[in-house]
Structure 1
Amino acid sequence: MKALSVIELAQLYGMNRQSIYKRINKGDLSKNSDGKIDLSEAIRVFGEPSQNNKHVTTLQSTSVQKETEVDMLKQQIDILKKQLQLAHEREIFQREQLATKDNQIEAIQRLLEAPKANMTTFTDQESVQPSMTKTDPELDTAEAKHDGLTTPEQTENEHSPVPTHIEPQPKKRGLFGRLAKAVFDN
């Protein structure tokens, strides 16, 4: 319900403020915790306001409505500000994610485009491995015989020596195979 100050109540009923304070002190009229008096409490004590004071009540009710509307609009503005801030933060986050992905894509493209030093291609048969030099006359004759489709034999490989004879590994047997071999060998 609408609450009125002592001055507003005095104007509404056309009374003196002192008479309203006397009623409050006697206990006939009570105030709220904010120091205002409910209109229903005033109507209980003083009755309905007179017709000539209706204009004051209308003005007060319109001002209360305007204050309520202003409060609602302020709350809506606060909500919209929060939503705008969240949208701005999401946009910044998305931009950072996009920049990170762009950097990753560029790094991968650089890795894909980077030429490998020891790698030969079919179009580049002139590449020579660093371990092969043309100072050895045997290599000169091997290169002359090379047809370009197969790799020439290297007489000396410094990185991984290849054994001349490789023994085949024995066939792996399961439990029953090993038992059968042990029985038949004895």
Structure 2
Amino acid sequence: MKSLSVIELSKLYGINRQTIYNHINKGILSKNSDNKIDLSEAIRVFGEPTIKMDVKEPVKVDSPSSAEVLLLRQQIDMLKNQLDDAKDRESFYQNQIETMQRLLEAPKNNMSMFADQKPESNIATDHQLESEPKDDGLTTTEPKENPRIPVPEHIEPELKKRGFLSRFFLPNG
């Protein structure tokens, strides 16, 4: 690719040299190792030159607007695909909701057969259970023997604890 000096670039694009130096200092435009600016770098920053210059190699350059249009078209296609996927998910979930509603409505028709039967006792509405005193565990009404813990008939007395040396030197007992 052809490299241009700052003076050649200013003549080619018809801009001031100070503008080119400002772009280089800001990092918008870069120079190569021999302090010249590559033509592709100048086209990226300033666009196609209005004055045609003699270029030995044929250069095919897309204008910045066509690259933007291509990118926007790709984004539009991606968004259309996402929208189609969302519509498919919505119809699937709507079908699932309708199926669940049909399943919930089915037992209501059979409830008329069960209406004649007596319902099972409900603890919340049963008044007989409320008449019994409730044991809150804080007060003792009458001592009751715990049926779960068996009391042994014969209990051996507990032996006195002995120290380390007394185990060896004193008799058992």
- The two structures have a TM-score, normalised by structure 1, of 0.35
- The two structures have a TM-score, normalised by structure 2, of 0.37
Rg comparison, structure with higher value: 1
